[in-house]
Amino acid sequence: MRRLLWLLLPVSALIADLGSKAWILRTIGEGESLPVIKGFFYLTLGFNRGAIFGSLTWLPATARYVLFALAGLAALVYFGRLFLARETPAWERFALGLILGGAMGNGIDRLYRGAVVDFLDFVFGTWHYWTFNLADSFILVGAILYGLRMILAPKVEPHKKEN
């Protein structure tokens, strides 16, 4: 039952992501920008038809669709299995829940729209960061937490039975 309660985490991340994307799609048009903090943070609607940072856009649309669908399915199976495993510690499960929620949000975008909706847009002086979304943020934070868990957690060796 407790593991089922954990499902609220990826579902909540998914709802937050899809809700924010629905809101931005109703609020501004593609390429339009709303300043939140002038000179630093904007809401700018864009569509990423490629992978991370717009890579792989040179592939034909059908090839991208198949590649992203297979990669997404593999990620959901792999991370989902770890997320639901009884022995997964809470810190790892939290990280995996963020990754799963974000992956599902971007996956739904790709399946439904053929592109991921991006709108969080930051500028640091003369440097303009790539536009991203909440799903990307959930995936990144989850990956950092998961990585920290792997680095900082003591390695547990399985007990060997003595004969």
Q: What is the pTM of this model?
A: 0.83
**Structural domain harbouring 109:** 2-152
Residues of the chain where predicted confidence (pLDDT) is lower than 70: 1, 3, 50-65, 68, 154-163
118 part of the active site: yes
157 part of a folded domain: no
136 part of the active site: yes
The CB-side HSE value for 32 (13 A sphere, CA atoms) comes to: 8
Options 17, 109, 118, 121, the catalytic residue: 118
- For 71-94, the pLDDT digits (tens) are 778 888 988 898 888 888 889 999
Q: Domain tally for the chain? A: 1
Options 17, 109, 121, 136, the catalytic residue: 136
Tell me how far the alpha carbon of residue 9 is from its chain's centroid.
Answer: 13
- For 8-22, the pLDDT digits (tens) are 999 999 999 999 999
158 part of a folded domain: no
Identify the residue whose tokens are 């990307």: 136
Q: Are 133 and 117 in contact (CB under 8 A)?
A: yes
162 part of a folded domain: no
